[in-house]
């Protein structure tokens, strides 16, 4: 029997109006997991700032969130550039009905499957720059604003379970996400005395329409996706959003420096026997390395 299904779309994990008057900044909030997280904050009354590099993603996020009745501000931002990050926060502060975000969700990241021996230096730099450096630049900018103002804040960094285990086929992303996990723990200690919480949120398998072709192709090689999970089902997007709203809520004030894994125990799965090793290249349907 699989883990029970969650309440239906539209249900909330917290009391109505929990985030009334709050501004929540979600990087990469126009699509996929970021949009799902932003949607749950919107249902609870938050004004949402969506930051993304791509106009089409900003528009998709705006439409989806406005359908929920949320006030939405979209800001073009490449989180690799600290000046653009500062500009995004400035835009929120200046916009009517918004203001300095009290919640930051660091969701934006880069990722694609590739054997380490085939990975170009540029591919490595790009993924690390967006996933690790961008997350730090956003966290730093928000913290500096709140430190100066003497106001509390909550920062949530979306991570990955291979921060603990390693990620064959995703060496660039796994290394960056390991850095993000450590950064969560470090910043929580540094900024806790100033009323700033920092937590991590790790999703398991949450299929969605906005997956990149590379990631979807990798997933499509797995048959019977539900049967491959200890929960005997994949995650529902709203379950991840509910976890995010809890971490930033008044009900989690003493939770900081923690990374919450929402994956139905998948990352802890072990087998009693050692199955034959299948190389990353074989798993990706690739031939031998030819140099």
pLDDT 10s per residue in the chain (291 long)? Answer: 999 999 999 999 999 999 999 999 999 999 999 999 999 999 999 999 999 999 999 999 999 999 999 999 999 999 999 999 999 999 999 999 999 999 999 999 999 999 999 999 999 999 999 999 999 999 999 999 999 999 999 999 999 999 999 999 999 999 999 999 999 999 999 999 999 999 999 999 998 887 767 666 666 766 677 888 999 999 999 999 999 999 999 999 999 999 999 999 998 888 888 889 999 999 999 999 998
Domain-located, residue 138: yes
Question: Buried b / exposed e across 165-181, counting CB within 10 Å, b at 16+?
Answer: eebebbbbbbbbbbbbb
Domain-located, residue 34: yes
The DSSP 8-state label assigned to residue 61 in this structure reads H
Which residue pairs from 113-119 have beta carbons closer than 8 angstroms and sit at least 24 positions apart in sequence?
Answer: 113/169, 113/170, 113/214, 113/215, 113/218, 113/284, 114/169, 114/170, 114/172, 115/169, 115/280, 115/281, 115/284, 115/286, 115/289, 116/171, 116/280, 117/289, 118/289, 119/171, 119/172
The DSSP 8-state label assigned to residue 170 in this structure reads -
Tokens of 9: 């779309």
Domain-located, residue 6: no
Total domains, the chain? 1
Predicted local distance difference test score (pLDDT) of residue 74: 99
96 and 65 Cβ atoms separated by less than 8 Å: no
Q: What is the pTM of this model?
A: 0.94
Residue 82 is part of which domain span? 23-283
Domain-located, residue 228: yes
Predicted local distance difference test score (pLDDT) of residue 223: 61
Question: Under 8 Å CB-to-CB from 157, ≥6 apart: which residues?
Answer: 106, 135, 139, 180, 183, 184, 198, 199, 200, 201
Predicted local distance difference test score (pLDDT) of residue 173: 98
Domain-located, residue 141: yes
Tokens of 35: 């949009």
φ, ψ of residue 150 to 5 degrees: the values are: 70, 35
267 and 161 Cβ atoms separated by less than 8 Å: yes
Domain-located, residue 288: no
Tokens of 118: 């085939």
| Nearest alpha carbon to residue 225 among 171, 264, 262, 260 | 264
For the question of residue 162 being annotated catalytic, the response is yes
CATH number at residue 105: 3.40.50.720
Domain-located, residue 10: no
Crossing angle between the packed helical segments 32-43 and 237-247, to the nearest 10 degrees: 60
21 and 44 Cβ atoms separated by less than 8 Å: no
Predicted local distance difference test score (pLDDT) of residue 145: 99
Catalytic annotation, pick one of 137, 162, 170, 246? 162
Predicted local distance difference test score (pLDDT) of residue 37: 99
Domain-located, residue 154: yes
3-state secondary structure (DSSP) of residue 23? strand
């Amino acid at each position: 029997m699989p883990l029970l299904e969650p309440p239906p779309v539209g249900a909330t994990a917290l009391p109505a109006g929990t985030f009334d008057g709050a501004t929540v900044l979600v990087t990469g909030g126009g699509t996929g997991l970021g949009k799902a997280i932003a949607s749950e904050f919107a249902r609870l009354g938050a004004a949402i700032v969506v930051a993304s590099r791509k106009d089409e993603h900003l528009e998709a996020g705006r439409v989806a969130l406005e359908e929920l009745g949320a006030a939405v501000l979209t800001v073009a931002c490449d989180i690799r550039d600290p000046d653009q990050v500062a500009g995004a926060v400035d835009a929120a502060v200046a916009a009517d009905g918004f203001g300095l975000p009290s919640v930051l969700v660091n969701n934006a990241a880069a990722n694609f499957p590739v054997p380490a021996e085939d990975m170009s230096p540029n591919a490595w730099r790009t993924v690390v720059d967006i996933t690790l450096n961008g997350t730090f630049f956003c966290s730093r900018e928000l913290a500096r604003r709140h430190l100066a103002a003497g106001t509390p804040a909550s920062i949530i960094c979306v991570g990955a379970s291979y921060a603990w285990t390693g990620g064959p086929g995703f060496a660039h992303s796994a290394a960056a996400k390991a850095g993000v996990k450590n950064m969560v723990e470090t910043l929580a200690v540094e900024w806790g005395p100033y009323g700033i919480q920092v937590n991590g949120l790790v999703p398991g398998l949450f299929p969605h329409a906005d997956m990149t072709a590379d990631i979807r192709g990798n997933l499509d090689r797995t048959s019977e996706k539900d049967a491959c999970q200890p929960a005997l089902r994949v995650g529902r997007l709203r379950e991840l959003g509910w976890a995010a709203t809890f971490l930033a809520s008044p009900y989690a004030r003493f939770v900081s420096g923690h990374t919450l894994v929402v994956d139905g125990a998948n990352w802890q799965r072990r087998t009693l026997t050692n199955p034959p090793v299948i190389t990353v290249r074989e798993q990706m349907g690739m031939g031998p390395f030819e140099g």
